[in-house]
Amino acid sequence: MVTLAMLAPLSARAQGVELRTLKVERRDGDLVLEFSTRLTLGPAIEDALRRGVPMYFTAQAAVYRNRWYWRDERLARGTPTWRLAYQPLTAKWRLSTGGLSQGYGSLSEALAPLTRVTGWALLEGEKLDAGERYHVEFSFKLDNSQLPQPMQIDLGGDWKLGVERSLRVE
């Protein structure tokens, strides 16, 4: 009996966000960010999606100039948001960002575009000084604040998906 109880957590599917790559580089003078994540949704989130509740995922990146005499100066901030929804009548997954919307046949296909972003221009080259030091604060998360109000009242640990990192610009 004790052995089965100890093995049960091992068989449960792990959920969360694992940041596989995060890279900031200067490309054509501009500061560009690329990231890829491994996103594993928990059973409660998948169940809510299949019942027609849309989920919103947000990536946020802010560029700061390091200053020794005051707080670091924020030069730019970007926050793209993706809306993931299941449409039961057509049995299709829909991923929307900005004014674009794309349909997919499976959940894994729908998650693929939001787990890998390349060429995200954070800051134009003319705002960067050669002798200055900069850093980027990055986060990627499930945005629980955009869930329907009744669902926000009793959110457990299954609903806390996110990762944060800080990265120096070389």
Q: What is the pLDDT of residues 125-166, one digit of tens each?
A: 777 777 788 899 999 998 888 877 676 666 666 677 889 999
Identify whether 1 is part of a domain: no
Helix runs in 12-124, H state only: 43-50, 107-115
Q: Is 83 helix (H, G, I), strand (E, B) or coil?
A: strand
Identify whether 2 is part of a domain: no
The pLDDT of residue 14 is 53
Nearest CA-CA partner of 161 in 26, 62, 44, 71: 44
Identify whether 61 is part of a domain: yes
Nearest CA-CA partner of 144 in 136, 154, 133, 152: 152
Identify whether 154 is part of a domain: yes
Identify whether 5 is part of a domain: no
* CA quadruple 144, 150, 157, 12: dihedral sign: negative
Whether 67 shows a pLDDT value over 80: the answer reads: yes
Quote the CA–CA distance of 140 and 137 in Å, as a whole number.
11
Quote the CA–CA distance of 136 and 60 in Å, as a whole number.
10
Identify whether 7 is part of a domain: no
Identify whether 72 is part of a domain: yes
Whether 2 shows a pLDDT value over 70: the answer reads: no
pTM: 0.82
What's the domain range around 102? 15-169
Q: How far is CA 21 from the centre of its chain?
A: 12
Report residue 99 as tokens: 């004014």
Identify whether 134 is part of a domain: yes
Domain count, the chain: 1
CA end-to-end span of the chain: 55
